[in-house]
Structure 1
Amino acid sequence: MDARKHEHEGYDVLTDMEKLADALSGELESLHPLARECSIYRVPETTRCSNPTPRIVSIGPFHHGKEELKAMEEHKKRYLKCFLQRTKVRIASFLGFIKAREAELRNCYAETIHLGSDEFIKMVLVDAVFLIELFLKFYQPNFRTDEDLISRKSFLHVDMKHEILLLENQLPLFILNDLFNLAKTTMFETNLYEEFSFMTISCFWFRGNIAGYLPIQENLLEINFSRAKHFVDLLILCLQPSQSHSDIALKDVNIPSLKELHQAGVKFKPGSSKNLLDIKFNEGILEIPFLTVYGATERLYRNVLAFEMMHCYTSYFNDHIIMMDYLVNTPKDAELLVQNEIMGLGYTEAFPTLFHNLDNGCIINYSCFQYSGVVADLQAYCKLPWHKWKATLKQNYFNTPWASISVIAAVILLLLTSIQTVCSLI
């Protein structure tokens, strides 16, 4: 009897395990395949800044439908209505166009998007046209209307421009470009969009809204636009340094601060390159590209840094953050940047903490650190006593015209006294 009971219990356990195995197998089969082309990620909690998620507008699926962002949905639809009034292309054609690319669009995201097909397609159209229309109104003010709350309320546009560049708030650039080109095929007014492309209005918007936060050399936006996956990717591509990667391994991470370099006689000047990452040192002169720090700078930098890490790009921006954290340790270091016209008068007091906060999420690779050659040259320069003596003499005794005159007068007096003493002895 006991044997039959144990056999029956064993059969029940086996049956339960088979059911559990079937359920787990079903979950495995339903996993979203991670396509090689995925480029839009959620920012890890460890690298998020104090306001990591959108507070005004949702672009794309990650934050779609959130209650706190619903106020902007009506404005998005107003923008869609304005856009459709200029083109003869029917809304059903736009939706069908997106439907044909749905799989490709979903594969751009590094996780499963839990939206039904209809909801996903509608979301893409509304959000994509919202961005297109936003850029159009910035490019051509005559497209603005009295109902356009975003254009009339400057604070909304200021906050929104930062949210458009959040990594979690991205749409693939190809769908934005293709929808704009589709609208151009049949317009109510001939040649209304003929003179410009989506690239034209996007680059114009970037120069007007982002150039102060991330200095980018002329024409790099246009040069990299066709290969960018989305707007954050476009920034990373434009930030690639012009100088070749250093072949020297970083031996000593003790990078001198700007104050220490100043005391060693190093001179500072704004970089000849507008590229933020082009830090150079040559013949006692350290070149750092001009930059200004604002309240939203950390948020923007953190998103660019997170994307560089998650998309496995060469860690140029990561190395720049580390380098700047060592160079700018104290308010005195930031003051030296201002004095030498390398930093604009934004939030200068936040400058030292900016790079320190960002550096917490960075990883230093000694074998291929971008600035290892610059660091080695700076360390070698600081070790030569003559440079420090010369700097001390200049900074303490020849720092003003009056100080120079006083020193020269003292030297002349000392020479005359010595001559008088020698003559008396003779």
Structure 2
Amino acid sequence: MERWDLEFGQVELIQGTIRSLLDCVENDEEILVNQFSPSIYMAPSTLRDLSPSSFNPRVVSIGPLHREDENVQAFERRKASYLINLMQRTNSSQEEILKLCVQKVYASMERIKACYVWTKTYGDAEIADMMIMDACFILEFLFKIWSSGVEIGKEGVLLFQNVLYDLVLLENQIPFFILDELFRCTILKFNPNATLLELIRPVLATVNLFKEDIKIDNISIENAHHILSLLHQCYKPPRNIKKGVFSSRILSVTDLDRAGVNFKPNKDPTWLMGMEVKLYRFPCCFGSWNKPTLRIPTLKIHDSTEFVLRNLIAYEQSGLNHHYVTSYTIAMDMLVDTKEDVVKLVDSIVIVNNFGSNEEATNIINNICKEVIVVDFFYEEQWVKLSNYCDGYWPKNIARMRKNYFSSPWNMIALVVGIILFALTVVQTIFTIKSA
């Protein structure tokens, strides 16, 4: 009786739960049909908590996620002047151009909404205003650089440079298809020779992590989610690059150096983040052995290196299948244990350290990989070659000897003193035997 009363009393609640679940299923099916998935979101909290400042815009807010931040409010009022300047470049009336832009945005409103994981509710009119204002600001800002050849990094353009860095933050983006649509409505109208990718090239070049130049030939605008995803594409490996499960550990730079491994910059690689192991045959007492050189792309470490890496990693960790930037940082973290490892890489021109402090550079490399997951490791083949070499008889024993006897001046002095004492003992023994 008691059980029947409970079931009877819960009938409405059960039916309500069923209706709620059915609504969720129907909504999910609608999302699947539309084939839209969020591409602009807050960085995973596990990564964001490690370095919140790496994900917050310094000067300008793009999109809705940081619109309320206090530090971007001053620049928010300046966006209108960029929009006006862009409109004045066109031959058509400003009203006609703005009307066309508004129509394009409203036609894609549902698709725009699906691109974000929203932290605040906005009406369609607010979203349209936001998209047009931000897109026109970006386009005018980039067009000025492209048309006038402004050099980035000169004295007096700190604000200008900070804006460029803000444009590659994961949480500070607008959908790329909207940027492209409004580019066609504005710049392409008065400059048919311009391309959106060429306009964005200075941003990519400025935030590039490596000494080798960014190549945009293989970038696909159709597959771009936003400007950060374009930068991510610049580091995409060729299809023939082998990847494996992250399994092989490797010695640090110092230990590899003791085993006889050389380090050199990987100049003009097929892949901007590519590492290569070259084996060279050297003679030794009992034949010969293959001495390797590890070629690594030259990493530029400066004020922006950490946040560019963190944003690329957060983008990968938020749902992408290919973790090649994460893979690179894991590889560097394995190679660098102490500042002595950084010193060796700086001496080998594998790292250009503009920080001045090798300890700070070491901390960046060691801390960047915390709380990250590696799905595919793109350096497994190189790591296996190095492991096989280091496990060989001669490299292993040479490394042990150099570590025990040549790792510090005191060890070397102790070794020399030991040899001298041993020699004196031998001489003394010989003379004692002869005089007996």
TM-score, normalization by structure 2: 0.75
Q: In the alignment, what sits opposite 1:246?
A: 242
Q: Any conservation in 2 of the 1:264–1:391 contact (CA below 8 Å)?
A: yes
User: Partner amino acid for 2:52?
Assistant: S
Deviates more, 1:224-233 or 1:257-266: 224-233
Q: Aligned ranges for residues 222-371 of structure 1 at < 5 Å?
A: 223-242=219-238, 244-246=240-242, 251-253=247-249, 255-274=250-269, 275-283=271-279, 284-347=292-355, 348-365=358-375, 368-371=376-379
Change (3 A) 1:231 1:215: farther
Q: Any conservation in 2 of the 1:199–1:222 contact (CA below 8 Å)?
A: no
Q: In the alignment, what sits opposite 1:123?
A: 130
Q: In the alignment, what sits opposite 1:103?
A: 110
Q: Secondary structure at the match of 1:70?
A: helix
Q: Any conservation in 1 of the 2:252–2:334 contact (CA below 8 Å)?
A: yes
Q: Secondary structure at the match of 1:46?
A: helix
Superimposed CA distance per residue, residues 308-358 of structure 1 (whole angstroms, 9 cap, x where no aligned partner): 122322222222111110101111100111111111131243222112212
- Matching of residue 91 in structure 1 with residue 98 in structure 2: yes
| The one of 172, 186, 192 aligned to 1:169 | 172
Change (3 A) 1:18 1:304: same
Q: Any conservation in 2 of the 1:203–1:221 contact (CA below 8 Å)?
A: no
Distance 2:136 2:120 in 1: 20
Q: In the alignment, what sits opposite 1:81?
A: 84
Q: Give how far 1:90 is off.
A: 3.1
Unaligned runs of 5+ in 2: 280-291, 407-436
Q: Give how far 1:249 is off.
A: 5.2
Q: Any conservation in 2 of the 1:276–1:291 contact (CA below 8 Å)?
A: no
- Matching of residue 69 in structure 1 with residue 72 in structure 2: yes
Q: In the alignment, what sits opposite 2:52?
A: 50
User: Partner amino acid for 2:122?
Assistant: L
Q: In the alignment, what sits opposite 2:416?
A: none
Q: In the alignment, what sits opposite 2:200?
A: 202
Q: Give how far 1:165 is off.
A: 0.7
Q: Any conservation in 2 of the 1:242–1:278 contact (CA below 8 Å)?
A: no
Superimposed CA distance per residue, residues 248-305 of structure 1 (whole angstroms, 9 cap, x where no aligned partner): 655543x100000000000111003454420111200100001111122111111101
User: Partner amino acid for 1:210?
Assistant: V
Q: Secondary structure at the match of 1:336?
A: helix
Change (3 A) 1:134 1:242: same
Q: Secondary structure at the match of 1:268?
A: strand
Q: Give how far 1:11 is off.
A: 10
Q: In the alignment, what sits opposite 1:156?
A: 159
Distance 2:342 2:155 in 1: 36
Distance 1:181 1:292 in 2: 35
| The one of 141, 146, 153 aligned to 1:134 | 141
Q: Any conservation in 2 of the 1:269–1:340 contact (CA below 8 Å)?
A: yes
Deviates more, 1:103-112 or 1:375-384: 103-112
Q: Secondary structure at the match of 1:94?
A: helix
Q: Any conservation in 1 of the 2:258–2:402 contact (CA below 8 Å)?
A: no
User: Partner amino acid for 2:368?
Assistant: L
Q: Any conservation in 2 of the 1:276–1:290 contact (CA below 8 Å)?
A: no
Distance 1:247 1:184 in 2: 41
Q: In the alignment, what sits opposite 1:401?
A: none
Distance 2:216 2:321 in 1: 18
Q: Secondary structure at the match of 1:292?
A: strand
Change (3 A) 1:130 1:394: same
Q: Give how far 1:41 is off.
A: 2.2
Deviates more, 1:95-104 or 1:19-28: 19-28
Change (3 A) 1:215 1:109: farther
Distance 2:255 2:202 in 1: 41
Change (3 A) 1:85 1:294: same
Distance 2:86 2:247 in 1: 57
Q: Any conservation in 1 of the 2:248–2:380 contact (CA below 8 Å)?
A: no
Q: Give how far 1:83 is off.
A: 0.6
Q: Any conservation in 2 of the 1:278–1:289 contact (CA below 8 Å)?
A: yes
Q: Secondary structure at the match of 2:295?
A: strand
Residues paired across the two proteins, number:
380
Aligned-CA RMSD value: 3.8
Q: In the alignment, what sits opposite 1:407?
A: none
Q: Any conservation in 2 of the 1:203–1:222 contact (CA below 8 Å)?
A: no
Q: Give how far 1:378 is off.
A: 0.9
Superimposed CA distance per residue, residues 185-226 of structure 1 (whole angstroms, 9 cap, x where no aligned partner): 654xxxxx233222211113322x123x24565533663334
Q: Any conservation in 2 of the 1:221–1:238 contact (CA below 8 Å)?
A: no
